């Protein structure tokens, strides 16, 4: 079986999804929480400065702007949010997905986005398989599916599905995905930036532009 794995934010979709989801959910679940949006900006700055880890950042954003809705309400908002993201599907990504299907490849999305909304985006793209960050409503921070953790979660999924030996084709726009790009037999770095493209090619990855 031939496998193609796609990152989501910046790869299949032109823009990130997490901050837009927080604002979308706050608007629909508890509009008063939008007054807390400046605190989210402060957290983003703290993350950039290395003071807040990525997992803790996302967990804090959920608590701040989404709160503790019931799973049913959260799922309803997540489904509505996914519909709004389809306008961000990159033309090159659409063409790549169509090519994968013509070739009979199994398609997987591997993303740091939370599974509760990434699942709806995957469904809208007719992608059955998803590897994503977990959100536990009442639990502790879960590992973010990012960098080496994404590789570990993909490897676990491959083993679970019995796909441990098949060659992988992987697309990502992020150098944080270097562990999985290096693991893939066919590694594609998605960018319009000539400098990033040259850096990717120097690492042995193919550079592709999904914006057209």
Query: Among 13-27, 121-135, 139-153, 172-186, which stretch is predicted with the lowest mean pLDDT?
Result: 139-153
pLDDT in tens, 95-133: 999 999 999 999 999 999 999 999 999 999 999 999 999
In angstroms, the Cα distances linking 69 to 11, 62, 97, 138 are: 30, 10, 34, 11
* Residue 66 predicted with pLDDT over 90: yes
According to DSSP, the β-strands at 129-133 and 186-190 are unpaired
Q: Give DSSP secondary structure letters for 177-196.
A: GHHHHHH-SEEEEE-S-HHH
Integer-rounded Cα radius of gyration of the chain: 17
Q: What confidence category does residue 141 fall into, taking pLDDT thresholds of 50, 70 and 90?
A: low
What residues pair up with 83 in beta bridges, in sequence order?
none
Number of neighbouring beta carbons within 10 Å of residue 92:
17
pLDDT in tens, 16-53: 999 999 999 999 999 999 999 999 999 999 999 999 99
In angstroms, the Cα distances linking 181 to 13, 127, 154, 172 are: 18, 20, 12, 8
Percentages (nearest 5) of helix, strand, coil residues in the chain? 55, 15, 30
Class of domain 3-15+87-208: alpha beta
Q: Please state, in angstroms and rounded to a whole number, the distance separating the CA atoms of residues 55 and 142.
A: 7
Strand spans (E) along 62-166: 106-114, 129-133
Q: Please state, in angstroms and rounded to a whole number, the distance separating the CA atoms of residues 153 and 56.
A: 19
61 Cβ partners below 8 Å, 6+ apart?
18, 19, 22, 40, 43
CB of 144 closer than 8 Å to CB of 55: yes
Q: Tell me if residue 107 falls in helix, strand or coil.
A: strand
Q: Tell me if residue 154 falls in helix, strand or coil.
A: helix
**138: its two tokens:** 């009442």
CB of 4 closer than 8 Å to CB of 105: yes
This prediction has a pTM of: 0.94
Across all residues in the chain, what is the average pLDDT?
94
What residues pair up with 130 in beta bridges, in sequence order?
109
């Amino acid at each position: 079986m031939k496998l193609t794995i796609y990152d989501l934010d910046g790869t299949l979709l032109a823009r990130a999804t997490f901050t837009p989801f927080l604002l979308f959910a706050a608007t629909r679940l508890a509009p008063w929480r939008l007054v807390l949006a400046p605190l989210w900006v402060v957290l983003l700055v703290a993350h950039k400065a290395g003071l807040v880890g990525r997992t803790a950042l996302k967990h804090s954003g959920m608590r701040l702007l989404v709160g503790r809705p019931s799973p049913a309400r959260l799922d309803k908002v997540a489904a509505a949010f996914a519909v709004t993201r389809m306008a961000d599907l990159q033309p090159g990504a659409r063409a790549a997905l169509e090519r994968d299907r013509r070739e009979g490849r199994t398609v997987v999305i591997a993303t740091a986005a939370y599974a509760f909304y990434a699942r709806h985006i995957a469904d809208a793209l007719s992608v059955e398989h998803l590897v994503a960050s977990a959100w536990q409503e009442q639990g502790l921070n879960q590992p973010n599916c990012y960098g080496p953790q994404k590789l570990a979660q993909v490897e676990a999924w491959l083993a679970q599905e019995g796909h441990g030996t098949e060659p992988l084709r992987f697309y990502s726009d992020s150098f944080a995905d270097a562990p999985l790009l290096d693991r893939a037999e066919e590694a594609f770095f998605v960018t319009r930036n000539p400098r990033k493209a040259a850096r990717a090619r120097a690492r042995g990855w193919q550079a592709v532009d999904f914006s057209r």
